Amino acid sequence: MDPCPFVRLIIESLALKLPSSPTKPAGPGVHPSATPCYAKLKLTNFPSQTALIPLCTSDPSSSSSPDSSTSSAGFHLDPSTLRRLSSKPLLTLKVSVFTGRMGRTCGVPCSKLLGSVKMSINVGGAGAQSKPSVYYNGWMKLAGSAGPDKPVAKLHAVVRSEPDPRFVFQFGGEPECSPVVFQIQENIRQPVFSCKFSADRNNRSRSLPSDFTMGGNKGWVRTFSGEREKSGRERKGWMIMIHDLSGSAVAAASMITPFVPSPGSDRVSRSNPGAWLILRPNGPSVSSWKPWGRLEAWRERGPVDGLGYRFALVTDSGLTSGVPIAEGTMSVKRGGQFCIDNARKDSVLSLVLPVRGFVMGSSVEAEGKVSKPMVQVGVRHVTCMADAALFVALSAAIDLSMDACRLFSRKLRKELCPDEQDSLS
């Protein structure tokens, strides 16, 4: 498998020096003495990002590195962006610093612009794709932070890039239609996996085969058999198997906890989410599988109607000892991106994934839209095709969760409820 070139632009070691402490309180959510300010980072043709900025306690006139700092998530430059930058390599990064807390109260911003800096970054050419580069490292004066002949605030930042090659896959159709999965490399689409979706509402083992075993770990079996059968409306028994080109099963996603509406409601609640297991073969036997991850999903309430999710890597001790590595919400109306990223040194992922950097990302279409998930997997997290297949199975599970969390007052497509179709025939 050949990866696609990606470049990660990283903005880190952010810190602020003020001539005097800001008089406006930071407000709830931000500690007034440690982080009274935040920054909006805007890169040409990219959505803006936000990062908290700690105050530097050293002498304002000192040019030494900050004694405390923070970093943003950074920006990902994909192959199409890199091709565009090969002819016009300059990008503009604008960092605007605000005092006070983020958000609005009664429509009025809770923060005030302190000042901003602009940096021109040359990330064009093959160099950025093959070796790390540093563009800025030091203190910069914030424009507009003070009047004439007055001391100005200063911002410290390190702006650098590093190669971040990834394998890119795309489903040839919606996961419930059992499509082929292609690997994408520039303009080449090569089939690498096939999918087999099934939905059996009558399977007590939550769509696991009758001869399914967990490699001798009876704790997992107790977890399955201990689940109480729920009566009434529920979505259960969904499973998607991932096969390699030889036809061997290399990964699977199995719905182990049904998606059930909360009492008096037509939505799956956060307090009672549906769940999937992401499985990998446990030895040569196709009937023996080992759990790799657990995905929970629900329908969020609030101002944004969203799909809530939580993903954890599982351990040999059982479901309750999983290590959570991704949690968030994406809009049901607009869709979004499911992402696992191990960029930060203090990330919980560092405990289970020693290699830092981007892990995987998958596109999720809005509810009711045709979905052909695009999956990106960091090269450093793939040692064989079976590793990549796990991320493909996880991508299918998060995509199918958008359907599983659809309001129960609305019907699903026929592929997702074949038993109902059979009863009508």
Distance set, CA 152 to CA 37, 139, 142 (Å):
15, 12, 7
Mean pLDDT calculated for residue range 374-379: 96
pTM of the predicted protein model: 0.82
Give per-residue burial for 266-304: e unless 16+ CB within 10 Å, then b.
ebbbbebbbbbbbbbbbeeeeeebbbbbbbbbbbbeeee
Tokens at 348, concatenated: 């919980």
CB atoms within 10 A of CB 165: 16
Q: Where residue 86 falls among pLDDT bands split at 50, 70, 90? A: confident
Mean pLDDT calculated for residue range 95-107: 76
Tokens at 334, concatenated: 């607009």
**DSSP track, 264-319:** T-SS--TTS-EEEEEEEE-SS-TTBEEEEEEEEEEEE-SSS-EEEEEEEEEETTEE
Q: What is the CA radius of gyration of the chain?
A: 24
Residue listed under structure tokens 């939550």 = 206
Q: What is the pLDDT of residues 161-198, one digit of tens each?
A: 999 999 999 999 999 999 999 999 988 999 999 999 99
Q: What integer pLDDT is reported at residue 330 of this predicted model?
A: 95
Give per-residue burial for 14-45: e unless 16+ CB within 10 Å, then b.
bbbbbeeebeeebeeebeeeebbbbbbbbbee
Tokens at 214, concatenated: 């967990």
Q: What is the pLDDT of residues 280-324, one digit of tens each?
A: 998 766 668 999 999 999 999 877 789 999 999 998 776 666 889
Mean pLDDT calculated for residue range 371-393: 95
Q: What is the dihedral of CA 257, 204, 196, 233, to 10 degrees?
A: -60
d(CA 71, CA 95): 13
Q: Quote the DSSP letter at residue 255.
A: E
d(CA 263, CA 261): 6
- pLDDT at residue 23 is higher than 50: no
d(CA 121, CA 43): 10
Q: Does residue 316 or residue 235 have the better pLDDT?
A: 235
Please report how many Cα atoms fall inside a 13 Å half-sphere around the Cα of residue 319, on the Cβ side. Answer: 20
d(CA 419, CA 414): 9
Mean pLDDT calculated for residue range 197-223: 54
d(CA 6, CA 168): 11
Q: What integer pLDDT is reported at residue 313 of this predicted model?
A: 92
Residue 26 and residue 101 in contact, taking contact as beta carbons nearer than 8 Å: yes
Q: What integer pLDDT is reported at residue 351 of this predicted model?
A: 63
Q: What is the pLDDT of residues 115-152, one digit of tens each?
A: 999 999 988 765 567 789 999 999 999 987 666 667 78
Q: Where residue 85 falls among pLDDT bands split at 50, 70, 90? A: confident
- pLDDT at residue 41 is higher than 90: yes
Distance set, CA 173 to CA 115, 181, 182 (Å):
48, 8, 10
